[in-house]
Structure formats: structure tokens, C-alpha cells
Structure 1
Amino acid sequence: MRLTHTGPAPARRDDWQTLKNLWPYIWAYRGRVLLAFACLVIAKIANVLTPVYLKDLVDGLGVPVAVLAVPVAALVGYGLARLTTGIFGELRDALFARVTQGAIQQVASQLFQHLLALSLRFHMGRRTGGLSRDIERGTKGIGFLLNFTVFNVLPTLLEIAMVTGILLWRYDWVFAGLTLGTIVAYVLFTLLVTERRMVYRRTMNTLDSQANGKAVDALLNYETVKYFGNESYESQRYDHDMRSWVDSAVRNQVSLNLLNMGQGLIITVGMTALLWQSARGVTQGVMTVGDVVLVSAYLTQLYAPLNFLGFVYREIKHALADMERMFDLMANHQEIADRPDALALQAKTASLSFEAVDFSYQADRQILHRVSFTVPAGGSLAVVGASGAGKSTLSRLLFRFYDPTGGAVRVNGRDIRDYTQDSLRAHIGIVPQDTVLFNDTIGYNIAYGRPAATQEEIQAAARAAHIHDFVTSLPQGYDTPVGERGLKLSGGEKQRVAIARALLKSPPIMVFDEATSALDTRTERAIQEQLDRIAQGRTTLIIAHRLSTIVQADHILVLDAGRVVEQGTHADLLALGNRYARMWQLQQSGEDK
């Protein structure tokens, strides 16, 4: 088996667009943002004044004792400046904490809501592991970006501007020129090299998501992997991506080391030149020892944040790279959206009709061809046919997971596109063929049909679905965990939970999509009687393979390759002696194909 090769690294996007996407979430806390910025400015002004007081203190120590008040004043000023720096720095951090965490919470919540609103087509094509990793990295990237920007980039740039201004005001322009020259050279070098390094980070992200997606997929399908003995194959697929990830990670680290060496060289040259210039001023008698201390203090004060600025810039670029995938998810088009004037469906009974419905998942493969039928309020219609005939597609169109490419689906005579999706789906219950449960308790999964239901109502639905006795026989009863996707329960047990869940919802329209396919014959008969009872008074769409379960349906549709080839009652279709009659004979004789 051939392992697939990873594609090229994703194309670079506009980082400014990412920042514009993030800005509304930050500005929602504009009051805290402005206060935090005011604290930042005050802290930096105090920090820049600290070396000035230190210079006065050093110079004052060299004068006669009679004027000792000068160094005392400088000492007090120095202490107050440092205290102000610390206090307002902490206030800034405290004020901005709510901004950072609030922005992360709002982005994550909106993204989760957006993903749930995306079409079934998107979710059928996604990889759960890769998607979850993209969201995790993206939300963490917001925290990195805001913390590094507010706590490091802005303070450092502000301090550089103030220091440059003071040096230009108090000394020769050469001091300001050397300072700015060093900073410009450092920033340009960092920017150019980091931009070239970003391709490695993006490739690492792609490979990490790809490897994680394959790992999660294999673990979710653990039994299938074991059935076919493909442990080695899955390990090879995962290891292939991880080896490629290692290659990108090594290149990323080597380029980082080269970047650090270049930054260190620029800083060293700049510091040496400034110290040489200040020492030269002392020897010429135009500067005092205090001036040397001042320049030295500024150099020391700028060195650490400037050196850290390179790391911060890299982390910001990494954060932007991590955020781009998350915001790309936000940009996914919502295929099925409510109309601006959509109505809320409110009805205790509902009729259902399909009018010349055409549908295709892909343009080159049509699934339904002008399918038409009507189910009156309280009536029942069964749909039968071979696998792939388009039976389950009917329920997906009814729930409006997709819109028809032609024709219309109507509830109570109105196109379902005129209703809000939430109100439409609130009127429909389903027992699917493939029941997937949440990794929670049995009680939680039953209650999912109506989360506000009482324990008595949950148990009543379980009794109606013939699962109450089984649940109460378990040591933890309704608090029994069902495991990932309900793997701790048998297929029949999961299907009965699904039936109880639909019963608890109690909607006017019920869809049974092979609702008893995972049950044994004895249980099927008991459940079928219960389904027949709850279908009374409800509009019911039954998608069935076993014809014995639809004998009592008011109307039966036979689909073949997405077309209605026969329809009528059970007796009418048997009398025709065509496709339905042959299917009935095969199933009755035990030769069901």
C-alpha cells in the first residue's frame, strides 16, 4: 500500500487581514484597552526617567558634602520612578487580562457556533483531529499575539522612541543615530530572515494537523483497524507524516540559530559603538561619568527588550500562522442559510410533500430525479428500494441539510426554505440507521431529545423504547457511560436509545430510517408495535429495508436509482406483481439480497 505524499506548504496569506479579523473582538473591551494603554505609557515614562535620576545621583556624589541634598533628591526620584514602573506595569497586565481571555472566549464560541452552522457537506469532508488541532493552535495564537504585542512590542517601541529623543536632546546626534541605526538594522534583519523561515512553520502546521488527523481517525476506528490487521499500515502512515514534520522542524531550528547569531552580532556592534562614543566624550571633557552611566543604563535597558523583540516578532508571526487556519474556518461559506424573512414554523400537526425534487451531491452524479409524493398530516409513507437508491437522501433534504437542486420540499404547503432551520428541525424527530451517541451517560443521550426533560419523562421514553429494564440492570443505571460514539453499547442497545431520544422529543413529524435494522426479530416486533403506536397522529416517513415493517403504511414508494418506479399500498403493489412483489417474495422466502 502506497503512502500519500503531503502537498506543498499552504500559500502565504495577508497577516493584516488576520489582524483585522481579530480587532473587533479586542475593541469590544475598548475601555480596558484604553486604560491599559494609559498605564503602559505611565510605566514607560517612569522607566525612561530612572537612568536620568541615576545619572544625577552619580554626578551628585562627586560634589562637596554641603550640597548633599542633590543626590538625596535624585535617590528619592530614582526610587519613585522604579516604583511607578512596577505598579503601573502590573495594573496594565491586570486590566488587559480580561481583554485577552475575553477575546479568546468570543472567537472560540463564535467559531464553534459557525462550525455547527456549516452544511453536512463540510462536515462529511473534514478530519476531526486536524480540525480540533487547528482550533486549539488558533485560540492559543490569540493569547500569544495579544500578550506579546501589548506587553512587549508596544512598550519596547515606546521606550525606544523616548530614549532616542532624550539622547538627541541631551547629547550629540551621533548617540541617537547609533541607537536608531542599530534598531533599524536589527528589525530589518529579523523581518527578512523570519519571513523566509515562515514556510517551515506553515509546513510544520500542515504536517502536524495531517498526522494528528490520521491518528485520531485510526483511534476512532480502532476495531476496523484490528479487524483487518492494519496496525502496521496505520503506524506507517502516521510515521510518514511525523518524519516529514521532523525534517521541517529541524530546518526551522537551524534557521532560528542563524537568526539568533545575526541578531547578536548587530546588538554587540551597536552597544560597542555607543560605549566607545560615550567614553570618548568623557576624555574630551564634554561628558561626565554620570552621562556614561546614563548611556550605559539606557543600553542595558534597551538590550533585553530589543533582544527579546526578535523572539517576540517570531512568536507573533507564528501566532499569525496558527491563527490563519482558524480564521479560514470562519470564512467557510454557510451553504444552507435562513432567508432574512424566514418564518418560525409553529404547528402541532404537519403535512409533508416533495414536488418534482431533483438533487445531486456532485454536479456530475444526480441522486434524485423528479421525486414527488405527499403525506397528509397524521399519515404515513414508506420508502423502499435497493442500497443507493436515494432513500436516506430524502430525510436529509427534509431536515434541510441540503437544498434540492430542483423542485421543492413543503411542510404544511409551504417551501421549507421559507422557515427557519431551527424551527423546522424542532418539528422533526428521527431514528437513524447508524446511531452515534455522545461520550456521556445513557441518561444524557436519551435526554438529548429534549434537554429540559425530567428524569420521569426520560424513564418513560426509555420504557416505551424497551430499554428501561436493561438500563436499570446496570450498576450505574442511567449514569452509565456509553463510551466514544457509544461503543460500549451493542448496535441494538444504541438504536433503542435513539428511539427513546426521538420519543422524548415528541415532534409532529417522525422519520424512521431503518429504525429496527440492528434489532433481533423478537425485539424488532416489540419495538415495531411501539413505533406503530407513537406514529399514530404523527406524519411519518419510514425508510425501510425489511418490508414486513411497512405493511401498515398508508402509502409505499419504491425508489430505483433515484426515481419513483412504483407506488401504492402494500396490497396494491403486491397485486401489480412487479418489483415490490418480487422483493416481498424474496424476503418472505428468506432469500433477502
Structure 2
Amino acid sequence: MASSTTQRLSLRVLWQKVRPARLYGWVMRFGVSCLLLVVESGTTVATPWLFSRMVGQLSGRDVVAAAMIALLAQYTVLRVLGAVAGPARSVLMMPVRTTLKERISVLGVEHIHHLSARFHQSRQTGALTRIIDRGADAASMIVDMALSNLLPNMLGLGLTFFVVLRVFSGEYLVLLCGTLLLYSAISYLFTRWRMRARRARNAANNMVHRHIVDSLLNADIVRAFGNIAYECERQKVVWRGLNRAESHLQWLVGGSQAIRNCVIAFASAALLGLAVRDILAHRLGVAQFVLMGTYLRSVYSAVGALNYVGAGWRNARVDIESYLELLALEPEIRSPAHPTPLPKGPSGSVGIEMRHVCFGYEADKLRLKDVSFKLHAGQRVAIVGRSGSGKSTLAKLVSRLYDPLSGTVFMNGVPLPELAVDVVRGHIGVVAQETSLFNATIAENIAYGRIGASRDEIQRVAEAAQLGPLLAQLPDGLESIVGERGIRLSGGERQRIAIARVILRNPPLLVLDEATSALDTRTEHAIQQELLKLSQGRATLVIAHRLSTIQTADHILVMEAGRVVEEGTHEELLRKAGIYAGMWRLQVRGGFTKAHSVVEG
């Protein structure tokens, strides 16, 4: 749990980020709301007093009609003012609450996107969405409680105590205050227990939500392995944990309410007993007895509401803790305070260089060891090697998803950490082996490569990525929804959309991480031609498994266990008769055998 000091600092930072640039509108709304609050509280306290005067008038021997009409008119005015002031105050502050909730949610999403790839590898999406939702709800709840519960009831209690002291004796006020102190002590004790129970409930709720998301995202694997019953049983287990946590929390809530209600019952009996004593002694009238009963109900109602505020504040604090801890996380990859401008090459071209780079996702397990190479503007450098040799890791360092543990990556001669992160990534277009698509239309997914692209541009790059046959089959063409993570499309179709996206982006530096691995031979050949056209005049880093796709590369790096063990052109590497030549012979032999089998069949 975050310390109180950390929470205060986080709340201060949170307020600085979510408050509007000009507070004038919010201050005006708050000022008018306070005036309406005074009116509402004043009418709430004055109405019982006026009602007691009407009772006293009616209880007298001589009932004056004019006086009763005046009292009735005053009573009506007070009730109307009270009835209008509350809703008006709520409507007036509604935009503040909704705007605050929106900004906190957007801030959370923005912060998560700035956190490193390492963070996202260790977190689950379901848990993150719950943290943001709870944080936004908790902040809105705090504002709502302050304006709708805390201030009205505090003001109402103060006015009520003033009237009680004026109309009754001091012992009434002493007994009333003593009861409130006992009530508050019991509430405080139970609230502390409830906070611990609520944290446990939140953790169990996160587990349920996380398992649902994880199970549904891997629905194909669940069905393929026939593990639906297993997934349902796992869901039952986490739900049982949530039910136990909910049950414990509700027992505490119910117990707290029962004990506090008993305290109120005994205190009310004692206060009314005092009133009966004073009536028998002719120190009070029946009207004052009615007034005491009415004020008792309003006082205990206000105290109950204030207890709800206290419990609600603690609950909101528990709910917002995870959000504040998330907000306190520093991005591993950050832009410098004063970034160096990126030197422009001819026609905006860029080049990449690595010098003695070492990197590991864990410091004691290096994935890259002393890697050095240069990729000049207009060159195609290919990286090959066995699975786990560090090829994709190297591409992540080029995009600055991670920083090296040692060594340096340069762009146009400037170390990447000295450049703004958005500048680095704005010059790079990546087609990864694992394609990510939004649950949107094909056109929207392609247009994500360059926001604001025209329909004609989207259509052109779709054709270049060999999406024409697919679009012809779909009734809605480019407007077809691809489903969550592109589930409605095949792996090859998703990869073609990703290629269209990067063609539309038209970046100075291309990173192709096995970009055509999911395509058939004919489609791969056509797309390779488009990618060759796209790579002309720009730096291209190609990570390939099929060596036939990189024969024309200007330079080839062969990686083994995180090191560059061979490098040169295709012909040079074949002449060396090393690892690359062996890989080439295996792939050529495999391709011949496969073709021969097809002919024989």
C-alpha cells in the first residue's frame, strides 16, 4: 500500500494534471453551489422549527387564522426553496464531476501508453482497465461526497445544534454530542476493518476480471484443447474467493449498522425522556417535544450520512490507491528534458548504428552480446538466425522499446536517448510477426499508419498489400469489422493489413520482423516486390526466417546466442561455408523436397 506521504504527493500531481487550464468556470460553479447549499441547509433546519410553531399555535386556546396562514405560507416557501436548491446544486456541479472523471480516465490511459514494454509484459489488460475505472470512479465519488454529503450535513448539524441550544437547555446538547462521539468512535473502528476487507475484495475482484479477459482472449486455444470445463472450473474457484471476500465485507457493514442503530435508539429514548421530564415540569411545551423528535431524526440522519462520507472516503482511498501507484510509476523510456534535434539526411532519410550493444530482459540473462552494425540510408540490412538468437530483441532496441544495458544505438549519429521518443518512433515503420489490429474496420486499421489519410490512399495501399481479393469477398469491403485483435481474419490477412498500414505510413526507416511469414508463396512474392519498392531510398532492417526473401540485401548479419557470428552479402556468406551456408542448404533442400512431394502427389 502506498504511504500517506506518497498518496498526498500523488493526489497533488493528479490534481495538477486533471484541473482545467482556467479554473474560473469551476470556481463559479462551486461558489453558486455553496450559496444554494446554504439555502438548502437553512430551510432544512428552519422547517421543523416553523412546524413546531404551527403546532404551538394550534395547541393554544385562541387560534388566530391570520397567524396560521402566515406560518403556512412561510412553511410552503421554505419547502419549495429546499426542494429546488438541492437538485439545482446537483445539476450545476454535474459537469465538474463528469469532466474530472473523464480526465482521470484519459490520464490513466495516456500514462499506461507511456510505460515501457517491460511493464506491459508483466501486466494483464483486465487488471489495468479495472484500476483505471476504479480510480476515475473514486475521484468522482470524493467530489460528489464533499458537495452532496459532507458540506450539507456539516452545515445542517451546526445550525441544528445552534437551535437546540437556544430552544432547550445545555444538557440536551451535552447528551447529543456525547452520543455523536460514541457513534463516531464505533464508525471509525468498523471503517478500519472494512478498509482491509475492501482491499481483499478488490484483489479478488481483479482476479475474477483478469481470468475472464485472459480466458476470452485465448478462446481459440481453450476450444482447440477441449478445456472449456477446465476454464469454467477455474472461474468458479476465483469467484468463490470473491464471494468469501464480499461476504466478509457485508458482515462488517451489517454489524456496524446494527450497533450504531442501537446507540441511536438508546440516545433517542434518553433525550425524549428529558423532554417528557421538562414538559411535566412545565418548562417545555408539546410543540418543543415535537421539535426535539424531529431534530433527533435529522441529526442522526446527518450523522449517518457523515459516517457514509467517512466510510466512502476510506473506500475511495482504497480504490484510488492502485491508480495512484500506477500513476507514480516512472516510464523506463523517456524523452530528455531538452531533446537534440534529429539531423536530416537527404530527402529526410535516416540511418541506424549500433555500437557494442548488450541487452537482457533480466540483467543476468543477456539476449544481445556486444552487437555492432551500421544501417545507412537507402540500405537493406537483413538479420537471420535460429529462434531465440536475439533478432526481434534487436529490432525492439532500434524502435527504442528498450534501452541497452551497455553500448549505444544511434540515429543519424545521435544517441537515441538524446532524441525525443516521438521523434524516433515517428521515423520508423514496423511490421511485426505478431500483427496487432483494433476491433474496427479494415480501413480504420490501415489508416492508423497515418491518421487522416484519404480514402483513395487507403484503397491504393490495400491493393499494394494484395488485399484486393479479400476485399472483393467481403460484402462491406474496407468497412468490414475485423473483430477483436483481428479474430475474423486469417493470419496472412492480418499481416497484409499490417503491411498496408506501414506502406501508408511511408517511413524513412522500415523494420520488417518476419513481415511475410504467414503468407503463401505467391502472395509473399507480390508483397516482397511492393516492400522492395517501398524500401528504395530508405533504410530497411529485415528480420527473416526464409533466406530466399533476403538474397538481395546489401548486408546480412547472422546471429547466434545473441552475437553476430557472420556478416556479409548473400554470396560472401555462401563462400564462407559457415552457419549461413548451412541454413541455406537446409532451406533449399526443404523447398525442393516439398515441391517434389507435391509433384508426386
Q: TM-score, normalised by structure 2?
A: 0.92
- Correspondences of 1:147-226 after superposition (within 5 Å): 147-226=144-223
- Give yes or no for contact 1:358–1:367 (8 Å, CA) kept in 2: yes
SS of match in other structure, 1:466? coil
Letter in 1 for 2:405: T
Aligned to 1:428: 428
1:53 counterpart residue number: 50
Q: Matched residue of 1:363: which SS? A: coil
C-alpha spacing 1:54/1:21, structure 2 compared with 1 (3 Å):
farther
Alpha-carbon distance in 2 for matches of 1:465, 1:244 = 49
CA distance in 1, matches of 2:401, 2:263: 59
- Residue matched to 1:91: 88
Name the CA distance, whole Å, in 2 between partners of 1:211 and 1:182: 42
Q: Is the 8 A contact 1:128 1:213 kept in 2?
A: yes
Task: Tell me which amino acid in the other structure corresponds to 1:199.
Answer: R
Q: Deviations over 1:153-194 (max 9, x none)?
A: 221122112211221233211111122122221121111112
Give the Cα–Cα distance (whole angstroms) in 1 for the partners of residues 555 and 2 of structure 2.
55
Stretch of structure 1 that moved more, 345-354 or 100-109: 345-354
- The one-letter code sitting in structure 2 at the alignment partner of 1:438 is F
2:545 match: secondary structure: coil
Matches for 1:440-455 after TM superposition, within 5 Å: 440-455=440-455
How far, CA to CA, are the matches of 2:197 and 2:47 in structure 1? 42
Partner of 1:136: 133
1:548 counterpart SS class? helix
- The equivalent residue for 1:109 is 106
Which residue is 1:494 aligned to? 494
**Deviation at residue 100 of structure 1 after TM alignment:** 1.0
Q: Aligned to 1:287, what secondary structure does the other structure show? A: coil
Partner-residue secondary structure (3-state), 2:373 = strand
Distance 1:217 1:13, change over 3 A: farther
Deviation for aligned residue 1:353? 0.8
State the Cα deviation string for residues 347-383 of structure 1 (Å, max 9, x = none).
Answer: 4111111111111111111111121111111111111
Per the alignment, residue 510 of structure 2 pairs with: 510
* Paired residues of 1:275 and 1:296 also in contact (CA < 8 A): yes
Secondary structure of 2:361's counterpart equals: strand
Which residue, out of 211, 236, 241, partners 2:238?
A: 241
**Cα 1:181/1:22, change in 2 over 3 Å:** farther
Q: Give the CA deviation at 1:341.
A: 0.4
| Aligned partner of residue 358 in structure 2, secondary structure | strand
Where do 1:103-502 residues align within 5 Å?
103-343=100-340, 345=342, 347=344, 348-502=348-502
Q: Look up the SS of the partner of 2:437 in the other structure.
A: coil
Looking at structure 1, the residues matched to 509 and 247 of structure 2 have their Cα atoms a distance apart, in angstroms, of: 58
Secondary structure of the 1:382 match is: strand
Partner letter of residue 546 of structure 1?
A: R
| Equivalent position amino acid for 2:48 in 1 | P
Report how far residue 326 of structure 1 moved.
Answer: 2.0
The change in CA–CA distance for 1:16 and 1:403 in structure 2 (over 3 A counts) is closer
Aligned to 1:4: none
CA distance in 2, matches of 1:20, 1:516: 49
Contact 1:131–1:209, Cα closer than 8 Å, also in 2: no
Task: Single out whichever of 304-313 and 335-344 deviates more from structure 2.
Answer: 304-313
Shift of 1:424: 1.5
The alignment-based identity, stated in percent, is: 38
Following superposition, the deviation at residue 133 of structure 1 comes to 2.1
For the residues of structure 2 that align with 1:265 and 1:15, how far apart are their CA atoms?
39
1:6 aligns with none
- Paired residue for 1:572? 572
SS at match of 1:564: strand
Structure 2 CA distance, aligned partners of 1:305 and 1:163? 10
The change in CA–CA distance for 1:204 and 1:272 in structure 2 (over 3 A counts) is same
Amino acid at match of 1:441: T
Note the C-alpha offset of 1:69: 4.3
* Most deviating of 288-297 and 388-397: 288-297
**2 CA distance for matches of 1:38 and 1:151?**
13
**Residues 63 and 16 of structure 1: CA distance in aligned 2, closer, same or farther (over 3 Å):** farther
Deviation at 1:268, TM superposition (A): 0.6
Partners of 1:449 and 1:505 within 8 A in 2? yes
- Relative distance call for 1:44 and 1:234 in structure 2 (3 A) is same
Whether contact under 8 Å (2:156, 2:302) holds in the other structure is no
Task: Please state whether the residue corresponding to 2:590 is helix, strand or coil.
Answer: coil
Q: Secondary structure at the match of 1:590?
A: helix
Aligned partners of 2:3 and 2:261: how far apart in 1? 28
Describe the shift of the 1:114–1:301 C-alpha distance in structure 2 as closer, same or farther (beyond 3 A).
Answer: same
Q: 2:455 is matched by which residue type in structure 1?
A: Q
CA contact (8 A) 1:346 1:423 kept: no
Q: Distance in 2 between matches of 1:313 and 1:284?
A: 41
**Do the aligned residues in 1 keep the contact of 2:510 with 2:535 (CA within 8 Å)?**
yes
Separation (CA, whole Å) in 1 of partners of 2:220 and 2:527: 28
Q: 1-side partners of 2:19 and 2:40: how far apart?
A: 22
- Relative to structure 1, the CA distance from residue 131 to residue 179 in structure 2 (aligned partners, 3 Å threshold; closer, same or farther) is same
Decide whether the 8 Å contact of 1:21 with 1:327 is kept in 2: no
More deviation, 140-149/512-521: 140-149
- Aligned mates of 2:495, 2:152 — CA distance in 1: 60
- 3-state SS of paired residue (1:582): helix
What amino acid sits opposite 2:193 in the alignment?
A: R
Aligned 8 A contact 2:359 2:367 in 1:
yes
Instruction: Return 5+ residue gaps in structure 2 as ranges.
Output: 594-601
CA drift of 1:248 comes to 1.5
Say which SS state the counterpart of residue 334 (structure 1) adopts.
Answer: coil
Query: Amino acid of the residue matched to residue 379 of structure 1?
Result: Q
Backbone CA RMSD of aligned residues:
2.2
TM (norm. structure 1) is: 0.93
The Cα offsets for residues 68-88 of structure 1, whole Å up to 9 and x where unpaired, read as 544443333322222222222
Structure 1 residue 548: Cα displacement? 0.8
Residue type matched to 2:574 in 1? Answer: L
* In 2: Cα distance, 1:519 partner to 1:156 partner: 68
Indicate the larger mover: 157-166 or 384-393: 157-166
Q: Is 2:522 the counterpart of 1:522?
A: yes
Larger deviation, residues 13-22 vs 253-262: 13-22
Tell me if the contact between 1:58 and 1:71 (Cα under 8 Å) persists in the aligned partners. Answer: no
Give the superposition deviation at 1:229: 2.3
Q: Is the 8 A contact 2:379 2:538 kept in 1?
A: yes
Distance (whole Å) between structure 2 residues aligned to residue 66 and residue 193 of structure 1: 51
Give the 5 Å matches for 1:20-39.
24=16, 25=18, 28=23, 29-39=26-36
The alpha-carbon deviation at position 586 of structure 1 amounts to: 1.1
- Post-superposition offset of 1:228: 2.1
| Letter aligned with residue 216 of structure 1 | V
**What code does the residue aligned with 2:88 have?**
L
